Structure formats: structure tokens, C-alpha cells
Structure 1
């Protein structure tokens, strides 16, 4: 993220020099007030999104740890069934029956 150069206070306190054919100072001040409000709202949204991002990272990390700590019994059952079928095919039914 790029570095923010101005704060709402910097915008508020900015003083422009007046010139003979310059801008209407009141209009400029009103516009700058609107910019300050938008700027503050944007900063609040950035903060909220950063907090949400951190919360989601923590949740994701916790879910990953939980999933890796819990074996999947269905996978274990499938492996055991395949191993049993392989034993029957290689050693014959007699060997598989003697194991039971």
C-alpha cells in the first residue's frame, strides 16, 4: 500500500495564497471540507478491512490446523478395504480367511 501523504488535519489547515483573479475562498473551503470527510471515511474503511483481513487469516490458520489434526476415518476405511482386497488377490482367499 502506498504511503498516505496528507491527513484530514493537513487538508483542513492548508492555507492558499489569494490572487487578484483567484478562486472563491468559501467554495474552496467547502470543497476541502467534503474532501476531509471522504478522506476520513476512506481511512476508517481501510482500518476496518485490515482488521477483517487479519481476522480471516487467523480463522483460516485455525481451520487448517484443525483439519490437519483430525484424521479422516473414511479414508482410513477405504485404505483398509483396498489392502484386504489386495491380500485376497495376492495370497488367495485362504490367507484372508485365516486372518479374520
Structure 2
């Protein structure tokens, strides 16, 4: 996302006037609203970028979870526990089908 204008550039922009041009006061009032929105968007973007940096830092510094099984646990132990869990949850339905 390329930002082409700053709030200051919008504020300082001068338009040439013509014989049948727009009402200058009306244009100025509209541009004032645009500038306010622009400043709000810039503040919101900065706030979100700061929050994003903070969260990324927390994620990088968070302790890593251990994905390996506990020491002393074998695949056989895991399969046995899974079998017991299936029997407990599904009971006789598992063996009658």
C-alpha cells in the first residue's frame, strides 16, 4: 500500500481558481474532513503496527512447547493408551460393528 499524500500535503495544496470554479469555502471544509480522516487512519496504522511488533516479539520470546512424547514413552505405550481411550469412549460399539 503506497501512501501518496500526507495530511500536511493535503492541507497545503493550492488549487487554481477559474471563472466558474468550485466554491472555495466548500472545498476547504471538505478537505478539512479528509485531513482529519487521514490523520485518524495514520494513527490507527501506527497503533496496529506497534501492536503487531509487540505480538511478534512476544511470540519469538515465548517458550517453545515440547512436541515429543514424554521421556520413557514408547510408541507401544502410546498405542496402548489410545486403545484404552477408544474402549472407554466407544465401549462395546467399537467391537460389535
TM-score of the superposed pair, with normalisation by structure 1: 0.66
Q: Which residue number corresponds to residue 62 of structure 1?
A: 61
How far has the Cα of 1:33 moved from its partner?
Answer: 0.3
Tell me: CA distance 1:15–1:72, structure 2 relative to 1, closer, same or farther (3 Å). Answer: closer
Cα separation, 2, equivalents of 1:80 and 1:14: 72
Q: How many residues align?
A: 78
Q: Which residue number corresponds to residue 70 of structure 2?
A: 75
Larger helix proportion of the pair: 1
Cα separation, 2, equivalents of 1:73 and 1:25: 70
Which is further off, 45-54 or 2-11?
Answer: 2-11
Larger radius of gyration: 1
How far has the Cα of 1:5 moved from its partner?
Answer: 1.6
Q: Which residue number corresponds to residue 33 of structure 1?
A: 32
Counterparts of 1:1-100 in structure 2, within 5 Å, are 2-63=1-62, 66-67=63-64, 75-79=70-74, 82=77
Cα separation, 2, equivalents of 1:30 and 1:76: 71
TM-score of the superposed pair, with normalisation by structure 2: 0.68
Mark the runs of 5 or more structure 2 residues left unpaired by the alignment.
Answer: 78-97
Cα separation, 1, equivalents of 2:75 and 2:10: 70
